[in-house]
Amino acid sequence: MMKKPNILIIYTGGTIGMIKDPKTGVLHPLNFRQLLVKIPELNLLDCDISTTSIEDPIDSSNMNPTYWIEIADIIEKNYKGFDGFVVLHGSDTMSYTASALSFMLENLTKPVILTGSQLPIGDLRTDAKENLITSIQIAALREKGNPVVKEVGLYFEYKLYRGNRTTKINAEHFQAFASMNYPALVESGVHLKVDYEHLFKTNSRKKLAVHKRLNTNIILIKLFPGITKAAIESLLQTKDLEGVVLETYGAGNTTSENWFIEILRNTVKKGIHIINVTQCSGGSVIMGNYETSVQLKKIGIISGKDITTESALAKLMYLLNQNLNKSEFKNAFESSLRGEITK
């Protein structure tokens, strides 16, 4: 008889772990040891569930790389003892965390599924139960004794997405996330429908490598009509700056004014990496497609292709600590490392 999968739930904070006091209406964190009491349906799942938590659960607006390292550390320490992991997380920064974990957990051969909810677990109309139950089911999915999903995913409102392809698109709807440039990996209906073709293919012979050093000497600049020379110069003179994610228009276009191109050229000459990503929800940067982006290509701006802003920031933090020269860095960023860009 095949052993039941062991699933570890890691609580980091967020709405999904809150319960409303019936008298005051105030939200307070649920003791996750009471999880089986609050959601008795979990007893029906064909897996063994354990729970743990980061030391100080937080509102996801306070999420930062220190917590990412703590989550990665919990996964690393429990990697041999568990078949899958479900990370409960506030929705506001979930796409950032999913992206970061995808780069930090190299050669991942087990599912790491992030989920959360728009309403607390005790609410009458909560989406927390479905999101949690199905996330656990997906983490426990196996074929011939091996996990079906072997990557960092994000599950919300009946769909599992590749984590580093997601963006939060709505603060009020249950369908809070979208993956504009990559299809859903699993859809939940009467049955779980797995899109095997789009699952990340990992080399199961390689050992998990956990990268716990992230470089936060980076900034994000979103272009807008009327952005001034003084504003851009000020941002690019940030102390110890090593990387920039530049959110441009359309397929990677910017103003072609001389002062703007000159500032970028001088920044690149200093050895600061500038990544061109699109402000559009979907689509890709194609530098050189329009005259306004030809010069960017010439001065050595790196194309983010169809990467999300969240994933670009996480990838930048990860790659800046990989001791790569300028050419190696550009090649690595423009390549798909964890399925974050379309080849």
**H or E segment and range at residue 297:** helix 291-298
Instruction: Please tell me the pTM assigned to this model.
Output: 0.94
171, 191, 210 — which closes off a domain? Answer: 210
Q: What are phi and psi of 262, to 5 degrees?
A: -65, -40
Mean pLDDT in residue range 309-323: 97
Q: Do 24 and 112 share a structural domain?
A: yes
The verdict on 167 and 229 lying in the same domain is no
Same domain, 66 and 179: yes
Contact 218/317 with Cβ under 8 angstroms? yes
- The pair of structure tokens assigned to 160 is 């599992």
Q: Are 252 and 286 in contact (CB under 8 A)?
A: yes
Question: Does residue 75 have a pLDDT over 70?
Answer: yes
User: Which residue, 313, 317, 320, 311, is CA-closest to 338?
Assistant: 311
Are 148 and 45 contained in the same domain?
yes
Question: What is the rounded CA–CA span in Å between residue 151 and residue 177?
Answer: 18
Q: 15 an active-site residue?
A: yes
Q: What is the mean pLDDT of residues 108-112?
A: 97
CATH classification of the domain holding 169: 3.40.50.1170
* Same domain flag for 257 and 222: yes
* Selected catalytic residue, list 12, 15, 267, 308: 15
Specify the amino acid at residue 329: F
CB 126 within 8 A of CB 197: no
User: What distance in Å separates the CA atoms of residue 13 and residue 4, rounded to the nearest whole number?
Assistant: 27
Report pLDDT digits (tens) over 198-247. 999 988 889 999 999 999 999 999 999 999 999 999 999 999 999 999 99
For residues 263-294, one letter each, b for 16 or more C-beta atoms within 10 angstroms of the residue's C-beta and e for the rest, the string is bbeebbeeebbbbbbbebeeebbbbeeeebbe
> Considering the domain boundaries, does residue 254 fall inside one?
yes
The C-alpha torsion from 122 through 126 and 129 to 131, rounded to 10°, is -140
The domain boundary, picked from 190, 210, 230, lies at 210
Q: Is residue 341 part of a domain?
A: no
pLDDT tens for 134-169 read 999 999 999 988 999 999 999 998 999 999 999 998
| pLDDT band at residue 175 using 50, 70 and 90 as cut-offs | confident
Percentages of the chain per state (helix, strand, coil), in multiples of 5: 30, 20, 45
Q: What angle do CA 6, 106, 334 make, to 5 degrees?
A: 140
Distance CA 278, CA 305 (A): 8
- Domain with residue 308: its CATH number is 3.40.50.40
Three-class SS state of 156: strand
Tally the domains of the chain. 2
The span from the CA of 171 to the CA of 10, in Å, is 23
Burial of 43 (0-12, 13-18, 19+ CB in 10 A): exposed
What are φ and ψ of residue 130, in 5° steps?
Answer: -60, -45
Give the domain extent around 55.
Answer: 6-210
Of 210, 231, 250, the residue at which a domain comes to its end is 210
Residues 256, 272, single domain; the answer is yes
Same-domain pairing of 198 and 292: no
214 alpha carbon, distance to own chain's centre: 15
- Give the pair of three-digit tokens for residue 120: 């607390």
Q: Are residues 110 and 255 in the same domain?
A: no
Res. 97: pLDDT tops 70? yes
In order, the DSSP letters of 20-45 are E-TTT--EEE--GGGHHHH-GGGGGS
DSSP β-ladder status, 84-88 and 6-11: parallel
251/20 Cα distance (integer angstroms): 45
Whether 196 and 265 share a structural domain: no
Q: Is 343 a member of any domain? A: no
